[in-house]
Structure formats: structure tokens, C-alpha cells
Amino acid sequence: MTDSKRRKGLMAASALLGGVLVLTACSGGDDKSSGSGENSQSQADAAAARKSSQADITITPKDGSDSASINNSAAVTVSKGSLTGVTMTTADGKAVPGTLSADKTSWKPDAQLERSTTYKVAAEAKDSAGLVAHENATFTTVSPANSFIGTFTPEDGSTVGVGMPVSINFDKQITDKAAVQKGVTVTSSSGQEVACHWFSTQRMDCRPETYWKENSTVTLKLALDGVEGASGVYGVQQKTVTFHIGRNQISYVDAKTKEMKVTEDGKTIKTIPISAGSPEHTTYEGIMVMSEKYKQTRMNGTTVGFTDNDGKAEYDIKDVPHAIRLTSSGTFLHGNYWGAKSVFGSVNTSHGCVGLSDTKGANDTTTPAYWMYTHSIVGDVVVVSHTGDKTVAPDNGLNGWNMSWAEWKAGSAV
């Protein structure tokens, strides 16, 4: 055999051998085998499916969520089966108690979740054939830096006076006021229209055109969970608050006559001699709402700018009796035991508060201040006139009644 023929023979043999090797490596056998690779895989999948549970478990929030809500958002549900076990733990292993529904198709944690916390959920369920399914998820709740809450007044279940607005102070700057306001609803059993007014990016008050109807019930609904109040900052509150409006008590302070007339349902029930702000320290005029009550409290002049030349307080009284706050800047209606009894009804001597005769210790039940304190509730109205001072600012305390209805509604974002 010539060299050329020998080389051609070797090449042919090599090519044939190579083809066999390639064919053997890439195929599942020749076309006389039990089936193609595709059919075999389908059969394997079908067989596996017949052995898998039909129970379909869903965990919310989704696995990997990093800004999950803390309110009622965590849940485990199942279709085509029943839950047989759910565990929820914090990242450090602390168990979160939860409740399984009577039909065993859903589970929820018993309490509100914590902010900025990672939770792990493991769920197990069985279908009608007894086959078991598992599902796991890990998520992290929204952080304080990326969430906001509103501190509101009055408190749930309280009874307040007819002048009490709903006042909400947010712990973050709200840039999308409309979105937040749409998540706040205030209604009254009296049917009065209620409008909200933004005093700043962090405060919104709501009230009707005129004082609340006595003996009515007001409901505040906060549906702020997930509402984006500012870029990347979401609400976390979802709750309903109700409070009751008591009798209609309005008191009228006249700094000129130095008297206060207390009315209930339009009728005068008591006239009390008072001492308002001196000519050097006049009392604000206007409509003021009682926001806090203290049987005794300390009043120090430095907190409101009343200091001597040496920087010390012009006054520091550590046991002022029967004090009722009218403004956030420091105006009070309060008892006065240190002044002569003769000043009440005759001379205005205070630093801007409205004083009533009282006895040291706040236990003398015969004094005018004791009577006023015990007959007043937060939300009652005090109207002050003839002091020579300016009208109190609407946002200085709960005193939005000093704005016209048109002005009030103009401050709404919706």
C-alpha cells in the first residue's frame, strides 16, 4: 500500500471513529431507544408532579422585601390545602406569636410588627392527599428613617369640649400633603362638614365651621399605612379613633370689666372675678381652647422670656394651683394664691395669664379657681377680649377658631 493510500485510510478511520465518539457523547441513544430525551424529561416531570403537594402557600410581604409595613401586612395563606404549621421569628430567633384561622387557610401575627426589623417565616401545608408543601420568606420592615407617624389629639375614648379640634403632628416633613390628607378622615355623628388645614409641613388640624355639636361623637380614621408622605418616607399608621363631645361650655373673659362669665349651652352659670395681664404684659385676645390641665404646676419666667437684667426669672412659682393651658406659648387660666384677694375683679396684674383667686395647695374647694378647674374639660373654649393685645395666632395652641371658614379651608391640600 502506498503512503498516500495509507494516509487516506487512516483519515477515513479517524473521521469515522470521531463521528461515533461525537454521536455517543451528544445523544441519548439511537432512534430505536425507548424515547427521545425530551419525552423522557416530560415523563420525569409528570411523575414528580404526581408526587408533589397541590397546596399553594403564599407569604406576604414577598421574600426579600426591605420596606415592609408594620401593620397587618404580614400573612400566610394557602389554597388547595390546609396550613399545618407556621413559624415567624426575628433575625435573632425571637418567636412572633400568631393565630391560625379556624379553617386553617390563613395565619397572621397577633401584634403590630416592629420597625426596622428582619423577620423570617416558615410555613407548611398539606393537600387533600396528605402531601406536604413548604414555603419560606425573609423580609425587613420599614425603618424609622423611612417612615412617619402622626401624634394626634384628642385621645381615643375621651370626652372633650366643643372647641377641641383634631390636631395631628407628624414626626417627618410632609411634602405630599394631599396624599397624606387623603389618608385622614374626620366625621361627626352630627353630620357637620369637617375640613383640614395645614399649619406647616408637620401639623394638620381638622374642625367644622362652627363648634362641634354638644353630645356628638367624632371619628378619626388614619389610613396612612404605605402612604408616601415624602420621597422614600412612608406612613405606618392604620387605626380608628373616636371621642365624645360633652356639654357646650364657653367662658368669656373681659379684661376691661375684669370678670369671666362661664356659660353652658348658652346660659351663664357663673361669674368669676379675674386678674388679666398688666398693661406691660397684656393677655392675648381671641378664641382659645383648653389643651391641658394641671392640679399644680411650676411656672418659671425664663421659659417664656420674662427675665431680669441679670438673666434670672422675673418669677418662679413651683406650685401654681389649678392651671389650665390656653396657648403653647404659655398663656394659662390658673389659680393665684400669692396675690392679694382685692386684685381679682379690680386690677390686671399678671404677666399675660388669666388669674383666679385660689389657696396654696390646690385643696380648698371653696375658691373660684377650684370651681373653674373642676367644671372644665380639655376642649372647652375661653374667649378673651378688651386686653389691648393682638389676637392669638391660630397655631399657638389649638386656636384655629380665630381663622374664618374660608381661610381655614384655603389651607387644605385637597
Nearest CA to 213 among 181, 240, 188, 187? 188
Predicted pLDDT at 9: 46
Predicted pLDDT at 5: 44
Predicted pLDDT at 28: 35
Residue 107 host element (H or E)? strand 106-109
Predicted pLDDT at 309: 65
66-102: per-residue pLDDT in tens? 889 998 779 999 999 999 999 999 988 999 999 999 9
Predicted pLDDT at 31: 44
193-235: per-residue pLDDT in tens? 999 999 999 999 999 999 999 999 999 999 999 999 999 999 9
Whether 383 has a pLDDT exceeding 80, the answer reads yes
State yes or no: is 26 an active-site residue.
no
Lowest mean pLDDT among 11-15, 192-196, 330-334: 11-15
pTM of the model: 0.78
Whether 29 has a pLDDT exceeding 50, the answer reads no
Average pLDDT over residues 101-105: 97
Whether 20 has a pLDDT exceeding 70, the answer reads no
Let me know: does 407 contact 295? Beta carbons within 8 Å: no
Task: Select which of 281, 334, 375, 386 is catalytic.
Answer: 334
Residue 70 grid coordinates = 408594620
Whether 53 has a pLDDT exceeding 80, the answer reads yes
Q: 154: cis peptide before it, omega within 30°? A: yes
Residue 229 grid coordinates = 408622605
Whether 324 has a pLDDT exceeding 80, the answer reads yes
Predicted pLDDT at 51: 76
State yes or no: is 244 an active-site residue.
no
Interatomic CA distance for residues 79 and 68, integer angstroms: 23
Nearest CA to 196 among 167, 174, 173? 167
Whether 1 has a pLDDT exceeding 90, the answer reads no
Interatomic CA distance for residues 88 and 113, integer angstroms: 11
Predicted pLDDT at 299: 82
DSSP assignment of 13-81? HHHHHHHHHHHHHH-SS-TTSS--HHHHHHHHHHHHHHTS---EEEEESPTT-SSB-SSS--EEEEESS
pLDDT mean across residues, the chain: 89
